[in-house]
Structure 1
Amino acid sequence: MTDDATVDLIGALVEAADLPGSVDGWESLAMILEFGEGFRSVYGYAYSPGDVITPVSCKWSGIEAAVNAYLGERLPVKILVQYDRKAGKHEVTFEDTDEERWAVKPKNFRQMREQLRPKFD
C-alpha cells in the first residue's frame, strides 16, 4: 500500500460524503468500510469544533475505485479510516475476523462515536 493510495482513499471518502459543504468546519473524520457477503457499506462521523458530531455516509460507488486501488486483492471484514484534517494525520486499521468490531448500534452509538474519534498523539 502506498501513501498515495491512502491519500486517494481519504480524498474519495471526503468527496463522496460531501463533507466540505454539508458539515461546516469539520476537523476530523472516522469512517467504517464494511465488506460483508454480498454487500458493502460505508458510514461514520465527522467531528467539528464545539463537540459537534455529525453522522455521515456515502454511496459505495463513489469510493469503489479508491478502495480497490488501496486494497488490491486483500478483502478484510472492515476497515476503520481515521483522518484529522487539522493535524494532517491519518490512520487506517484493518479488521480481518471480528464482524462486530466497531458495530454502531442504538444502544452504543454515543460511546462508539467517541471511541472512533481520531486521537493522534
Structure 2
Amino acid sequence: MNVNPKYIREIGELVMRCDDVIEEPAWKALAFVFDITEGHMANSGFLYVDDEIIPAAAGIEDDLMALDNKILEFREAIFEACGHKFVQLLIQMNSAGKIHIDFEFDNPKRWNMGPSNYRAMREQLRPAFD
C-alpha cells in the first residue's frame, strides 16, 4: 500500500497537541483507538506513566475537529490506495516520538473496551517499541 507518510507525521503532531497528553507531562507511552462509522467518530485510550495507566481521550480543545478531520483524510487516502476503509484506527506512541498506527477494516469491535475486558485491553494496547 503506497500512502504518503505525511499523514503519520501529521497525526502524531496532532496527538501531541491533545489536552490529555499535554496535561500529563510524565507520560511514557500512549494508545488511542478511534472508532469510525459514516458520520460519526469516537475515541478512547490510555496514557502510560511508568506503572500507572491513565484513561484518556484524544481531543484538542481549541481545534476540536483537527485530529478527526486528519484521520478522515487519512482514511480516504487508504481507501484510494487499497479500496477499503478502516473502521478502527489504533495510534500508539512513546514520548521519544516513535509512532505505530494499525488499522482494522472488518471487525468494528476489535479494540473495543468494556467491563469484561477493560484491564486486559489496556495492557494489550500498551505500545512496545523494541
Taking structure 2 as the reference length, what is the TM-score of the superposition? 0.79
- Cα distance, 1:28–1:108 mapped onto 2, change above 3 Å: same
Assess if the C-alpha contact under 8 Å between 1:32 and 1:81 holds in 2.
Answer: yes
- Cα distance, 1:72–1:38 mapped onto 2, change above 3 Å: closer
The residue number in structure 1 matching 2:87 is 77
What is the Cα-based RMSD across aligned positions, in Å?
Answer: 1.8
Q: After TM superposition, which residue ranges in structure 1, 4 or more long, deviate above 2 angstroms?
A: 1-4, 68-75
The residue number in structure 2 matching 1:102 is 111
Please list every run of 5 or more consecutive structure 2 residues that lacks an aligned counterpart in the other structure. Answer: 80-84
Matched to 2:99, the amino acid is H
1:33-72 residue pairs with structure 2 within 5 A?
33-49=34-50, 51-59=51-59, 61-72=65-76
CA drift of 1:37 comes to 4.0
Matched to 2:90, the amino acid is L
Corresponding residue SS for 2:99: strand
- The CA distance in 2 between the partners of 1:48 and 1:76, in whole Å, is 29
Corresponding residue SS for 2:65: helix
- The CA distance in 1 between the partners of 2:12 and 2:103, in whole Å, is 15
Please list every run of 5 or more consecutive structure 1 residues that lacks an aligned counterpart in the other structure. Answer: none
CA drift of 1:7 comes to 1.4
CA drift of 1:56 comes to 0.8
Percentage of matched positions with identical amino acids: 27
The residue number in structure 2 matching 1:28 is 29
Q: How many correspondences in the alignment?
A: 118
CA drift of 1:39 comes to 1.6
- The CA distance in 2 between the partners of 1:100 and 1:94, in whole Å, is 12
Corresponding residue SS for 1:63: helix
- The CA distance in 2 between the partners of 1:71 and 1:11, in whole Å, is 17
- The CA distance in 1 between the partners of 2:20 and 2:55, in whole Å, is 12
Taking structure 1 as the reference length, what is the TM-score of the superposition? 0.85
